[in-house]
Structure 1
Amino acid sequence: MSSDPPGFELPIRLLLAFRALIDELHTRLAERGHPEMRPMHGFVFQAVGPEGCSTAELGRRLGVTKQAAAKTVESLERLGYLTRVPDPADARARIVRLTPRGVSALSDSAEIFDALRAEWSEALGPARLATVEDALRTMTAAEPFRTDLPAWFS
């Protein structure tokens, strides 16, 4: 009889690790003045990017319908994280952009993720964490961030 764990445990453990990091991120974001932030919002902010984009393009980047993207933008506008501004190339179109509050949330997230990684490094040891990260890089796509992941879950 093998002492190896069952195959289904690997994706469950990876998901649990992801969930632990994201839950702690959001606890700390709330402490920094962003209690309404949700995991999906980080994907939206990354998909909007520094240059902004149309709602239709945001939907494509997220892998959701234009209507779903518009609903998300409206929600994040109400919370003060996004704004829609006239498109300089097309007076009829609007561009979705991060507000200073949105940029602040992204900056806070980056700082918190660095702190969380340092905590994992302390708990596991730097060499062990580096081994885990190297192994995950070997087994995953070269592009480390996909904004369409939330659509994949639904």
Structure 2
Amino acid sequence: MNPTDLDDALRAQTSASTGQLLLRAARLLDEKALARLAAIPGAPPVRPAHTRLFPHLSFTGVRATTLARRLGVTKQAVAPLLAELVAWGLVEQVPDPADRRATLVRFTHDGLAALTHGLGLLGELEAEITAEVGAERAAVFREVLAVWVKVLSRA
């Protein structure tokens, strides 16, 4: 087989995979939301690498080593991303009360406002998709997707 045929075969295989479709949809949703954010004057230049951190952050805080482990990367890979989020005022680093030698990273109040705004952008995109596919189909998709998350969370 020539490389073009191999690429076509690979595309056919990945298009037939529900998991690959979900990954692609998530990536596209993230890209579109970030493009909308970038169009806002004064918005921080958040990249997909930053948004991958957000589900693992909280107001109680998490250690950078824990973030790195959850993302499957090194602490050194997470450090510059956290430094940018700190510089933008979205997160702060505070001493870990359980171990004063360690620090916790947690959302600031500005970080909560930014996160809420970002979720609003995602909501706008979801509304646009719902308008195209219909409310009933979108609701069924969400229900089925919630089951996928539940099943995969216990696996």
| Rounded Cα–Cα distance in structure 2 between residues aligned with 1:69 and 1:83 | 14
| Rounded Cα–Cα distance in structure 2 between residues aligned with 1:86 and 1:143 | 36
The structure-2 alpha-carbon separation of the partners of 1:68 and 1:142, relative to structure 1 and needing over 3 Å to count, comes to same
Which structure 2 residues correspond to residues 137-148 of structure 1 after superposition, within 5 A? 137-138=146-147, 140-142=148-150
Which structure 2 residues correspond to residues 15-34 of structure 1 after superposition, within 5 A? 15-30=23-38, 31=40, 33-34=42-43
The structure-2 alpha-carbon separation of the partners of 1:43 and 1:123, relative to structure 1 and needing over 3 Å to count, comes to same
Higher helix share: 2
Aligned residues: 140
Deviations along 1:11-70, one digit per CA (max 9) or x if unpaired, are 465444333322221122232743411122222122122211111112122221122222
| Rounded Cα–Cα distance in structure 2 between residues aligned with 1:65 and 1:74 | 15
| Rounded Cα–Cα distance in structure 2 between residues aligned with 1:39 and 1:74 | 15
| Rounded Cα–Cα distance in structure 2 between residues aligned with 1:144 and 1:37 | 28
Q: Which stretch of the first structure deviates more once superposed, 74-83 or 7-16?
A: 7-16
**Do the aligned residues in 2 keep the contact of 1:45 with 1:98 (CA within 8 Å)?**
no
Relative contact order, higher structure (CA 8 A, sep 6+): 1
TM-score by length of 1: 0.73
Percentage identity across paired residues of the two chains: 35
Q: Which stretch of the first structure deviates more once superposed, 102-111 or 32-41?
A: 32-41
- CA RMSD between the two structures: 2.7
SS in 2 for 1:85: strand
TM-score by length of 2: 0.73
